[in-house]
Structure formats: structure tokens, C-alpha cells
Structure 1
Amino acid sequence: MTTPAAADPGPPLRTWERRRLRGIERGLRAGGAWARPALCLGLDAATLVLLAAGIFVALPWLFAGCVAANLAVCLHFERSSRPIRRGGNACPR
């Protein structure tokens, strides 16, 4: 009996792949894992409310909604913009 192709683990991971996966795992295990998504969702909700109020109520609310949208985008992308390793190239040769 042969194993299906999906069960084949493939070649062992290279050193840089193991380090990168360990770094990702460490980031997932960090304390306060629910605080950041809750903050992102709260800011997203506030942004939508401010944008809707700006469209239907008054223009200054629209400006506040645009500022909140910029903050929300920065908060969402801030985590993924960190370097994987310090002092080196993120992608090995």
C-alpha cells in the first residue's frame, strides 16, 4: 500500500526556513493575542461609522473618518512590515 501524495512530507526544511517558521510561531504565541485584533476591529467599526456620518450628516465627520481609516490601515500593516531577522536580508539567496 502506498501513501497518497498529500501525506508525503517532502524534503527536510532548510535552516532559514526553520528560523522563519520559528519566528512566525513566536509571534503567534506572544501574550495578548486577542488585544490587537480587537483593537483593529474596533477601529474599523469606528472608521465606518465616521465615514457614514460624514456622507450623510456633515463634512467634518468625513474628514475624521478618513483620518481614522489611515490609522486603521497603518495598524493593520504595522505587524507585517517588521523584519523577520535583524541585521540581515529577509530573503536568503
Structure 2
Amino acid sequence: MYVILVYDVGEKRVGKMLKLCRNYLNWIQNSFFEGDISEVKLKELTILAEKIMKTEEDSLIIFSSRTEKFLDKQIIGKERSSTDNFL
């Protein structure tokens, strides 16, 4: 499945959340990630994220789709991090 993940966590937890999400998805900018991920890996990511978060203060939002081709993506201005991988 293809997901877009956005988080808003307290300053003390930002580094841990950034590192965690980078292990599973492509970092786009600040607290924004996207990429293909299996359901099992996504569940693992959310469980680990909940351990980092203070749920009464922080938030994690995940948008999912079957594949990237069902999403229209428009970038205006500088693209911070491309998800294209050339071999």
C-alpha cells in the first residue's frame, strides 16, 4: 500500500520520531513522509510511534491508498526530497 504520513510531536520527541519514520518511509520534508509499505510494516511503525508519542499532546496522521498511481501530486516551488529512485 502507498501511504502519506504526517506527525506533530513535542520538541523532545521529534528526533526519535524522525529516525523511526525514516526507517520505513521516504522523508519528504520536516514531518512529512511517503512511500510503499506493507500492512505488517505499517502496523509495526504505528506501534513503535505510539511508544514515542504522548497521545494527549501529539498526533500522527496516515493517509493510505492501494498504490501511488491513485494520487495526484503537484509540487510548487522547490522539491525538498524526491521519491524517485534511479538505478
Does TM, scored on the shorter chain, surpass 0.5?
Answer: no
Compare relative contact order (CA 8 Å, sep 6+) and give the higher one, 1 or 2.
Answer: 2
More strand by share: 2
Please give the TM-score of this superposition, normalised by the length of structure 1: 0.29
Which protein has the larger Cα radius of gyration, Structure 1 or Structure 2?
1
